[in-house]
Structure formats: structure tokens, C-alpha cells
């Protein structure tokens, strides 16, 4: 298998269009991780992503008849740009089907390269099904984003370049995983020449289809309605058939990271390169950091920066979560005395630690609950801080990993329910796009009185809303059945301690 792939990789025609991207040193990450870290800069391609390699290699090998028919594909954005620029280079017609919540920067880039864009569905799978229908109806040639031998070979040229560019033996290469085309291509080439080099795939929680397949020993399909869309470039429900065939034999490990860790990795890449990577583009760096923290001893590693097509309005959300993802900020609820000098006393208890955020409202005559962000050095330092404050007599609730607190409550602290005990609290997520909030509210209808509502658009792929309904415990099941019928994914937050402290 590997020899066949290596031949295809060596014969790939990617350099008609792609550049040999540089392998850049990352001094800040290197010092922090205690190893020589290099970043493979695929963000420097003309479409700011590695995806043009596989797309062009596939399309350049089509017959003249196929080229005249035109091509079609479905993509979250980067493969779309690869197909569009390849079609432009080869003088072909291209139709791209993209989910309605695809970042506008990717949609506009595809249109600017002359391709026809069709926006359909709320995720990649829905877009892909529609693309296949159009392909059959209009007799076009489908260009797969990852599960194709020629596409995999095109992406595999990245592995070839890494081997040629790195002078020292490599301990590990970290690769972002969506459908697995890049991972399979890099693994095939590197394992053939250097079988001792670890190939480590990195996925995001909620779209970890390879991790699920590896654990099950077979390809599995993740629930489409629960896919993570923050890292939209790797939001795939099932690993490719051909890519899994390679991965299960030649990939050494899979690391799964969360959104906060990705945001921290985007900041890391920026500090080392001044490149603003997209979430999927920094995914491998997030996985590298997690893996090397738990597996010390690696001396030379490479991580692939796979893309930089990020909407500017998403940077607000990324910057808010980066410090938490880097374990540099603790989000705490602390109960202090409602008395003059209490805040000063609390600050003295913190010593020289930086306070990054402070919110509070008087709750009663004796006590106040404060929402406070505090600078820390690590997760261990955060836990030590909590123990230190508790040792000084403070009641402390650690909200650093509390999603409702980080997304909603930090913007809402300051009011309590007028009639405690008659409110049910739920957190919702829905695909973000123009008109999505109106559609969400229309879905809720007017059957229930809303007692609390918080929505904030921060450029993410998901719209996030916190809603309180005027309902008591006896109506809980009726309300939950009603919400299930609406069809949005939701979580009950009625027992969330942050809600109890600040809003109930």
C-alpha cells in the first residue's frame, strides 16, 4: 500500500499551482515545550490552505471529456477554494456546494475565483448530499474533498516536503483531521521512509470521527446534529473509507482537543509567526501541546498549520477563550462579605495575581457573589489558587470549564429572578447565519413566557442562547417535550451553580 502511495505522491502535479511551503521554526513554542518545534506553513499557499494540492492533483488527471463536463464538490470552504482555483487554472467550470453557515470569507473567495456557489444545508453532510444530487442531474464530475487516492496523494506531498526540509530525524508529526485525506497522505509517505516517526492525528471534541473509529475498530458516523462547527474545516461525521484504511495501520495516536485549546493554539501560532490561523488550521498545534505535556521526551516535532481562512468577527470569541485554553485564566465565583473594604481584602488575598475581569451585584445585606477572572500560570496553579482562597475562608466555585458561565453569564451578572423557583433554564445552540435568531425565536413560539434571554453573536458557526422559561418543577417534562419537538439541540442548566449564584 505505502509503495503505491509514495509513487503517486512523487508523481503528483501539485507544483503547477502549489508552492513548497516553508518549514518555519517556532521558538516560543519550542521553549515552552522543551523541544525543537517547526511549523509547516500551509497557510502561505495562494488559497491560504493545503487543500489546493489534492484538488489540483485530482483535476489535472481528468480526461478531456471530463474537463469539458465541469466539476462539482461540497466543502466547508478550503477544499472549495482549491477546486475553484484549480478549475480557473485548467479552464474548467466549477460548482461548489457549501453549508449556509460557512464563513463569508471562504464563500467570497470561491466566488472571486469564478466558481458557482450553491449554499445548502447547515453542515458538510447536508451540503455533500445536495452536491451529489446536482452532480447526477447535471452530469458533472465530483471532486471528493478527502476520500480519493489522487486527492490523498496530492495532500501527501506535504509529508514529502517535511522529510526533505527537516535535517534532523523527526520524533513526531502532528496532523489535523477532518475526513483524513491530509493525515493519510502524510502517514503514507513518512511511514514508508521513516517508520519510527510518530504520525499523530488531532481532532476537535464533537467532530472526533477518527478517534471514534479507532476505538470501535471500524468507521462510525457521529450524530450530524451534534457536530462541532467551531473548527468548520474539520467538521466531518465519518472518516473516509480509504483514509481510514491507511490511518488504522500507520497512524500512531489520535489526540482530541477542545475549543479553548484551539483558541490558545491560534494565539500561539500568531505569537510565533504573526499568522492568524483558522480554528482547523491551528488544530494540530493544540494537539501537539496536549500530547507533549503528557508524553515528555520528544526532541524534534513538526505541526502543520493547515489554513488561515478565518472570519475577522470570529477573533473576538477566539481572544476571549484563548487565555482559558492556555490555562492562563481562572474563572471563579467567590462569595465575599457585603461590607466596605471587602474587595480590597480579596485583592490582598490574591497577592500579585492579575485580575482580568470582575463583576458583581449586591445579593443581600450580608454577602455578595463576585464573578472574577484571575491570571494563572497553569491548571495546577489554578487549583492551588482555589485551595488558597478556600483556606482563607472564601467560598469558591471554579467556573473555568463551565460553558454557560463563560459564554453567557459573564455578560449578564447583576440580577436575580423576582420569584425564585418558577424558572427553568436552558442553553441552546443553532447554526449561525443571517436570520437565524429570528428563526430560533419563531421556533420557540409563544406557548411559554420567557423570563430570561441572552444571545451574543461572536462570529462562531453556532448561535448560542441562554433562555429562562416561566415554569415550575411540575411543568418540567411538558416543557422538555416541547423543546425536543422544536428540533434545536439544548442542555438544561437548572442545576448549574453559576446560575444559582448570579441569576436565580
In 194-236, which residue ranges form alpha helices assigned H by DSSP?
A: 209-216
| Residue 215 grid coordinates | 476505538
Taking a C-beta distance cutoff of 8 angstroms, is the pair 153, 3 a contact?
Answer: no
d(CA 187, CA 387): 45
- Sole residue written with cell 488559497: 47
**Residue 351: partners with Cβ closer than 8 Å, 6 or more residues away:** none
Q: What is the DSSP string of 37-54?
A: EEEEEGGGSTTSBTTHHH
| Residue 297 grid coordinates | 521526551
C-alpha 306: how far from chain center: 13
d(CA 276, CA 314): 11
Picking from 147, 209, 152, the residue whose alpha carbon sits closest to that of residue 177 is 209
| Residue 273 grid coordinates | 509567526
d(CA 157, CA 190): 10
Taking a C-beta distance cutoff of 8 angstroms, is the pair 185, 152 a contact?
Answer: yes
**Residue 166: partners with Cβ closer than 8 Å, 6 or more residues away:** 23, 38, 300, 302
Asked about 51 being catalytic, the answer comes back as yes
Collapsing DSSP to helix, strand or coil, 469 comes out as: strand
Taking a C-beta distance cutoff of 8 angstroms, is the pair 105, 310 a contact?
Answer: yes
CA distance readout (Å), 278 to 105, 234, 376: 11, 11, 26
Q: Considering 21, 75, 306, 460, which one is annotated as catalytic? A: 306
**Residue 150: partners with Cβ closer than 8 Å, 6 or more residues away:** 8, 54, 57, 58, 61
Q: Considering 8, 12, 21, 51, which one is annotated as catalytic? A: 51
- Sole residue written with cell 512523487: 10
| Residue 60 grid coordinates | 489535472
| Strands of the 71-74 sheet, one edge to the other | 116-119, 94-98, 71-74, 141-142
d(CA 459, CA 472): 34
Instruction: Annotate 356-392 with three-state secondary structure.
Output: EEEEEEECCCCEEEEEEEEECCCHHHHHHHHHHHHHC
d(CA 336, CA 370): 7
Collapsing DSSP to helix, strand or coil, 207 comes out as: coil
Catalytic residue IDs: 51, 306
Amino acid at each position: 500500500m505505502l509503495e503505491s502511495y509514495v509513487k503517486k505522491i512523487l508523481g503528483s502535479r501539485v507544483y503547477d499551482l502549489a508552492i513548497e511551503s516553508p518549514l518555519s521554526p517556532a521558538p516560543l513554542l519550542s521553549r515552552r515545550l522543551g523541544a525543537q518545534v517547526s511549523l509547516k506553513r500551509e497557510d502561505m499557499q495562494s488559497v491560504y490552505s493545503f487543500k489546493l494540492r489534492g484538488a489540483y492533483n485530482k483535476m489535472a488527471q481528468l480526461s478531456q471529456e471530463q474537463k469539458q463536463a465541469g466539476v462539482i464538490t461540497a466543502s466547508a470552504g478550503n477544499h472549495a477554494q482549491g477546486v475553484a482555483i484549480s478549475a480557473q487554472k485548467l479552464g474548467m467550470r466549477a460548482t461548489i456546494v457549501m453549508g449556509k453557515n460557512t464563513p463569508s470569507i471562504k464563500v467570497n473567495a470561491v466566488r472571486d475565483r469564478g466558481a458557482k456557489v450553491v449554499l445548502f444545508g447547515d453542515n458538510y453532510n447536508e451540503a455533500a448530499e445536495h452536491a451529489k444530487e446536482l452532480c447526477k442531474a447535471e452530469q458533472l464530475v465530483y471532486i471528493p474533498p478527502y476520500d480519493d487516492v489522487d486527492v490523498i496523494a496530492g495532500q501527501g506531498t506535504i509529508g514529502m516536503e517535511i522529510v526533505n526540509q527537516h535535517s534532523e530525524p523527526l520524533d513526531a508529526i502532528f496532523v489535523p483531521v477532518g475526513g483524513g485525506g491530509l493525515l493519510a497522505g502524510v502517514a503514507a509517505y513518512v511511514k514508508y521512509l521513516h517508520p519510527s516517526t510518530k504520525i499523530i492525528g488531532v481532532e476537535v471534541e464533537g467532530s472526533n470521527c477518527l478517534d471514534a473509529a479507532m476505538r470501535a475498530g471500524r468507521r462510525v458516523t457521529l450524530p450530524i446534529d451534534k457536530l462541532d462547527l467551531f473548527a468548520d474545516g474539520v467538521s466531518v461525521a465519518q472518516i473516509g473509507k480509504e483514509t481510514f484504511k491507511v490511518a488504522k495501520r500507520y497512524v500512531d495516536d489520535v489526540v482530541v482537543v477542545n475549543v479553548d485549546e484551539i483558541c490558545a493554539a491560534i494565539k500561539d501560532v500568531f505569537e510565533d509567526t504573526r499568522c492568524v490561523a483558522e480554528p482547523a488550521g491551528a488544530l494540530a498545534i493544540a494537539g501537539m501541546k496536549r500530547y507533549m505535556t503528557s508524553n515528555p521526551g520528544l526532541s524534534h516535532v513538526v505541526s502543520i498549520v493547515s489554513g488561515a481562512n478565518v472570519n475577522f468577527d470570529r477573533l473576538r470569541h477566539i481572544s476571549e477563550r484563548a487565555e482559558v485554553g492556555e490555562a492562563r485564566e481562572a474563572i471563579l465565583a467567590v462569595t465575599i462579605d457585603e461590607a466596605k473594604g471587602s474587595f480590597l481584602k480579596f485583592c490582598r488575598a490574591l497577592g500579585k495575581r492579575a485580575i482580568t475581569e470582575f463583576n458583581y451585584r449586591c445579593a443581600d445585606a450580608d454577602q455578595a457573589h463576585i464573578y472574577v477572572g484571575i491570571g494563572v500560570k497553569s491548571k495546577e496553579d489554578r487549583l492551588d489558587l482555589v485551595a488558597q482562597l478556600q483556606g482563607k475562608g472564601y467560598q469558591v466555585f471554579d467556573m473555568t470549564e463551565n460553558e454557560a458561565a463563560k459564554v453567557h453569564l459573564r455578560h449578564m451578572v447583576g440580577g436575580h429572578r423576582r420569584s425564585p423557583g418558577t424558572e427553568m433554564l436552558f442553553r441552546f445552540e443553532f447554526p449561525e447565519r443571517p436570520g437565524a435568531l429570528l428563526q430560533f425565536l419563531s421556533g420557540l413560539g409563544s406557548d411559554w413566557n420567557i423570563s430570561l434571554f441572552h444571545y451574543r453573536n461572536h462570529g462562531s458557526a453556532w448561535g448560542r442562547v441562554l433562555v429562562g422559561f416561566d415554569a415550575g418543577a411540575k411543568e418540567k417534562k411538558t416543557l422538555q417535550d416541547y423543546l425536543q419537538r422544536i428540533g434545536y439541540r439544548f442542555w438544561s442548566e437548572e442545576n448549574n451553580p453559576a446560575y444559582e449564584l448570579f441569576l436565580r
